[in-house]
Amino acid sequence: MAKKRKSNFRGRIAQNVKRRKREASSVGYLNLPKDIKLLSPDEETRKMNLDFLPYVVTHKKHPDQVDGAEAGELWFRSPFKVHRDVGVNGDTIVCPTSIGKPCPICEYMAKLRKEGRDWDEIKVYRASPRALYAVMPLSLRKHDEEIYILDISDFLFFNELQDHLELNEEDEVFPDIEEGKTARLRLKWKSFGNNKFYELVILGFEDRDLYEESIIDDIPQLDDVLNILSYKELENKFLEMEDEISDETLDAEIEDEQPKRSKYRRSTPDEEKDDEPEEKETPKRKTVRRRSAAKEEPEEEKKETSKRSKRSKDSTACPYKHKFGEDFEKFDDCAECEKWDECEEANNETK
């Protein structure tokens, strides 16, 4: 008797459902927290006001650590780098160097540089800088006044912010809870292929109302939003190739996929009938007639047979107008000839 095993599903299935739901909410290289969305203004939007909010740093090797972005401290952005068109699906992947870890793609690019390859050949492997920001849109169409995540490249915003703050140092407190300012921005829409995106131009900063300090508890920890693959996972994706499958392997896989009846379930009469071996149809081939093994004939019958053969040989007995006895099995017609046996005997007598 099989040993009874106790199942333990309590809590585990609910955990699986939550994990799958969390994975379903991911956007490419981002794992968005529950109830947090990406800021996505439509193409008709030309201006918008945003309040930038600080978040709690969690990465111990934050890229801005030297400027005070220590783990546990408040900071205004989570910078990272991405590699594009990785693997057979052309995925966008967070570069592990964003948090101080090695990256197989960057290593490969360094190898090509060392070999003296042209920049046009290796630039496809470079990582592009981006950043995440926690923002509160003000009076933005189709957006409530709640916390969103702004995901944008440095080229389209941070470079502009740097230039502005170099000339307007008093605005550097813009993300502060108590002294913060509202950013007035203009959107310059651009397109690349079928993709539409926008560049943010800073029109200025203005004083804003104070936020309650408790809002920090609701601001997502941006560092943890990034989906960063392990070295091995990224290496496999970078090097992945489609395997060629032979016909034999494919046939074996198809056979393995055929459903099998459980050994614990009784068969129905119809299923038992289906289990009976089927007669395989013998493939049709061009049949060449062959004389059966000769039986031992009495001496008198042998003489009579020899006489008949000689008579047949002398006559023009071939129905296909070939030389009877001499052209034995030299033509395709011979295979279906009704005088095949006599022609063979006549042919043997001439040898």
pLDDT at 197 over 50: yes
d(CA 102, CA 98): 9
Tell which residue, 90, 88, 75, has the closest CA to residue 29. 90
* Residue-wise pLDDT tens digits, 204-243: 999 999 999 999 999 999 999 999 999 999 999 998 743 3
Tokens of 80: 């990272």
pLDDT at 321 over 80: no
pLDDT at 314 over 70: no
Per-residue model confidence (pLDDT) at position 22: 45
Tokens of 321: 């107008």
Per-residue model confidence (pLDDT) at position 319: 78
The alpha carbons of the chain give a radius of gyration, in whole angstroms, of: 41
Query: 113 or 315: whose pLDDT is higher?
Result: 113
* Residue-wise pLDDT tens digits, 103-136: 999 999 999 999 999 999 999 999 999 999 999 9
For the domain spanning 21-239, the CATH number is 3.90.198.10
Query: 304 or 188: whose pLDDT is higher?
Result: 188
Confidence of residue 349 (pLDDT cuts 50, 70, 90): low
How far lies 265's CA from each of 6, 66, 260, 262, in Å?
22, 68, 11, 6
Other Cβ atoms within 10 Å of 138 Cβ, number: 15
Lowest mean pLDDT among 148-152, 198-202, 344-348: 344-348
Per-residue model confidence (pLDDT) at position 142: 86
Tell which residue, 201, 209, 205, 200, has the closest CA to residue 170. 205
d(CA 311, CA 337): 18
Confidence of residue 7 (pLDDT cuts 50, 70, 90): low
pLDDT at 244 over 60: no
Tokens of 114: 């060392």
* Residue-wise pLDDT tens digits, 144-171: 999 999 999 999 999 999 999 999 999 9
d(CA 60, CA 70): 7
d(CA 16, CA 170): 49
pLDDT at 283 over 70: no
Lowest mean pLDDT among 95-104, 117-126, 276-285: 276-285
| For the chain, percent of residues with pLDDT exceeding 90 | 53
Task: Write down the mean pLDDT value for the chain.
Answer: 79
Average pLDDT over residues 163-181: 95
d(CA 100, CA 131): 16
pLDDT at 37 over 80: yes
Q: For the chain, what are the domain ranges?
A: 21-239, 299-349
Name the burial class of residue 44, with classes exposed (0-12), middle (13-18) and buried (19+) by CB atoms within 10 angstroms of its CB.
exposed
Per-residue model confidence (pLDDT) at position 347: 72
| For the chain, percent of residues with pLDDT exceeding 70 | 68
